[in-house]
Every structure is written in C-alpha cells, then in structure tokens.
Amino acid sequence: MSDDRAVFEAVVTAQRENKLAALATVIETQGSVPRQAGSKMLIWPDGQIVGTVGGGQMEAYIIGEAQAALRDGATRVLTYNLSDLGAGDPGVCGGTVRVFVEPLLTPVTLVVIGCGHVGKAVAELAKWLELHVVVVDDRPGYATPEAIPGMDGYHTVAAAELLDHVAITPRTAVAAVTRGLPVDERLLPVLLATEAPYIGLIGSRRRWALTIEALEAQGLPREQLSRVRAPIGLEIGAETPKEIAVSILAEIIMVLRQATGQPMQWHGTAAQAARQNAASQDRVENVME
C-alpha cells in the first residue's frame, strides 16, 4: 500500500471512529529535501504515525508539534532549514521544508450523568445540537436505548467506575443531573480528576453548599471545586425539564465558545459594534470544533 493511501485510510478511520489525530502535510520545499510537497503523515495522540514527511529529527519535531496541536486545537505552519546541525537544524540535506499541521478534532462530547426527566431532556437537546452524547446512570433501565433512543453511548455504572467506561478529555463537557448529595460526593472527585472543560452539577445553592462542605472534608481544595458550575445552567427562569435543558446547553455552549452569556441587544455606535464583532470573531477562531 502506498504511503498516501495508508494516510488517507487512517484519516477516514479516525473520523469514522471518533478518534483524535493530526495530519502533517509538506506544503513547500526548496533545495535538497527528503520528501517533496504533498507528502503526508498522520500522527496519533501517543506519537505513533502513518506515513512519513522525511524521518529523522525533523519528523520527531513535527510529531511533537502535532501532539501540541491536538491539545490546543490550533493549526501550525512549521519551517525547517536542513543545513547545519551545529546551528540546531534537524538535518543536513541542504534545503528548506515548510509543513502544515492540522488537528483532526473529534466532535465535542457531552456526558450526561443521571437520566431522569431533566437528564433525558438534556441528552435529546444535545443530540439535536449535533453533539456526541453519552448517557450514564447507576440505575438499571435509565441509560438505555429504550429509555433515551439515538444516543452515542450508554453506560449503567456507578460513579467510582465511570472512567473505566467513559473517556473524558479536554473535548468533553459533563452535565451531572444527579439525584442527590450522596451521589455527588462520590462523583465529583472522579470528574475533577479529568481535564473536562465544563463540569456542571444540578441542584439548589443550598445543596451545592452542603456538597462543598462534604468534599472539603474529604480533602478536596476549594480551588478545585471552583471548576464546577453549580447550580448548573444560565438563569432564564426555566421550570420544565426542556426549559432546564435549554438553560444547561446554553451555558455549555457559552463556556466552550468562550463567550460571556450577556444579552446581545446593542445600543452602541457602528464603530463600537465593529470592534465587538472583531472580538467575537477572535473567540470563534479558538472554538472547539
């Protein structure tokens, strides 16, 4: 199998199986170089590769940059001179290589923990929003295709076993719509050990205050607990499960898009609006897509 075909098949596999990967492509060369423009290499998060863009130290640098791109979600254009090892160049072929590194990011995953009325509404709305949705409940019969059709994953597991069954990454939001303090005490230490950018917990302010006391007694520091958004959601006066789901998903989108949640009503000048739009565009460029 040719290198290009192997790379393309690996890209298709990554997309089909919802796996993170990065694609490195040689986009420009000058002089003597190991691979010409168009050469490609796919890099998995653990540094394993499919294909090659030249081998040696330059390729090792590119693999490291690709892994960094998977962490921050940003593309990179890398330039390497291959002339003088003493000057720090990663080769002595004599030419110059420019490489484009593109992270092939998976869809944002929402893990809904607790599949009662609100949890079901959150999962269904998230699926309508085209998120990858995994539902979890420790009670048999709740997190099932029969109870909530059309989800991407179903797990009937206790809080302590969650990470044995569900991958929570920097591209995973967690909505914990659980049924009470005893569950929260076991669940939150597990969630706070992950890199989830959003952890929301349902309940009243009093319930959250009691949860903080219980978890601090277990040794969890207050700064860690500050990662939890509780009570979950934006204040829109929601009452019904579907309205609460709108509140929760609105907050998740706000956090992932690095937005403010402020009303969009505008009373400023056209010049101020242009500056505001530019700032918004900057946020969009950093979005987790």
- For residue 3, how far is the Cα from the chain centroid? 29
* Full-model pTM: 0.72
Kindly give the interhelix angle for 241-256 and 117-128, rounded to the nearest 10 degrees.
50
What pLDDT score was predicted for residue 239?
Answer: 94
| CATH fold for the domain made of 109-256 | Rossmann fold (3.40.50)
Q: What residues contact 149, with CB distance under 8 A and at least 6 apart?
A: none
What pLDDT score was predicted for residue 132?
Answer: 92
Q: Which has the closest alpha carbon to 56: 109, 3, 97, 15? A: 97
Question: 36-72 burial, b for 16+ CB within 10 Å, e for fewer?
Answer: eeebbbbbbeeeebbbbbbeeebbeebbebbbebbee
Residue 197 corresponds to which tokens in the numbers above? 């950018």
Specify whether the CB–CB gap between 176 and 114 falls below 8 A: yes
Q: What gap in Å lies between CA 89 and CA 82, rounded to an integer?
A: 6
Residue 32 corresponds to which tokens in the numbers above? 């003597």
Written as one letter, the residue type at 64 is: G
What pLDDT score was predicted for residue 152?
Answer: 93
What pLDDT score was predicted for residue 285?
Answer: 45
User: Which H or E run contains 16?
Assistant: helix 3-16
Query: How do the pLDDT tens digits run along the chain, 289 residues long?
Result: 467 889 999 999 988 887 889 999 999 888 877 778 889 999 999 999 999 888 788 889 899 999 999 988 889 999 888 765 655 545 656 678 889 999 998 888 999 999 999 999 999 999 999 999 999 999 999 999 999 999 999 999 998 889 999 888 888 999 999 988 888 888 899 999 998 999 999 989 999 999 889 889 888 888 889 999 999 999 999 999 999 999 999 999 999 988 888 888 877 787 777 776 766 655 444 444 4
Q: What gap in Å lies between CA 46 and CA 63, rounded to an integer?
A: 10
- For residue 28, how far is the Cα from the chain centroid? 31
Task: Kindly report the number of other CB atoms within 10 A of residue 77's CB atom.
Answer: 10
Task: Kindly report the number of other CB atoms within 10 A of residue 136's CB atom.
Answer: 26
User: Which H or E run contains 85?
Assistant: none
Q: What gap in Å lies between CA 85 and CA 169, rounded to an integer?
A: 38
The residue extents of the domains of the chain are 3-104, 109-256
Q: What gap in Å lies between CA 187 and CA 84, rounded to an integer?
A: 54
Q: What gap in Å lies between CA 79 and CA 77, rounded to an integer?
A: 7
Q: What gap in Å lies between CA 189 and CA 275, rounded to an integer?
A: 41
